[in-house]
Amino acid sequence: MLYNLFFLHGISLFFYLLFDHLKIEHVVLGNLSFNFMRSVICGSIALYSYQNYSKIFDDKCLENDKFKNQLVLFHDRFLHYFIYDLFVMMYQVYVKINKSIRIDLLMHHLLAIFILTYISRNEMYNITLLIGLSEGMSFVSGFKLLSNKLGLKKYSNICIRVRVGYLFFIRMLFLWPSLLYFYYQITNECEKFKKEKNIQLVCFFIGVIVMNEIKWIRSGLKELNRI
């Protein structure tokens, strides 16, 4: 865990030093450097998930120990990212970089930590890989903030469109229905997952996530109308 946290912090500090040198940002763990860390980590999480997506269907019950161990490492890095992200958000409020934590983002992170902990307890690490696909929308976070800071409205507009499109077409229309179906499959076909089956809880989680995403889509569309 400590290695992952130091790695994440190292990325944040790298972007701080870069933007401080460019005279764009002068605060350690400021919003710009922090959001670029999010772009790098979320982009790499999504990329890994896309690259290994087909493998979870070849080994639904995680009988291949090598593949399972790879997913455990991926899962731990994913979980530690949310823990670090949550810690930094609280730190930014404490040192008055931000006035408050966005409630929707706070709830999203707490829910993600709970879900990933639940997955770990039941060793359904293939589900983590599916969830990793959802992080692709956050790849534009740093670029959008930089575009706003430099007054590049055209590029900010593109980032918002990418985010809204990813939310609707990838997450809502494809990912969450696929995750629900995959969960149904493994809890019916795999003996070690059958006893942990709780389809109602998974539907509740997805329902909460979708409600939050509808708010994000509406917020993005409003922002586009203002540009």
**pLDDT (tens digit per residue) in 125-180:** 999 999 999 999 999 999 999 999 999 999 999 999 999 999 999 999 999 999 99
Question: pTM for the complete prediction?
Answer: 0.94
Q: What is d(CA 115, CA 124) in angstroms, rounded to the nearest whole number? A: 11
Please write down the HEC assignment for all residues of 181-220.
HHHHHHHHHCHHHHCCCCHHHHHHHHHHHHHHHHHHHHHH
Task: Please state the domain extents for the chain.
Answer: 2-226
Residue 226 clears pLDDT 90, i.e. is over it: no
Averaged pLDDT of the chain: 95
Which two structure tokens, joined as six digits, stand for 45? Answer: 């999480």
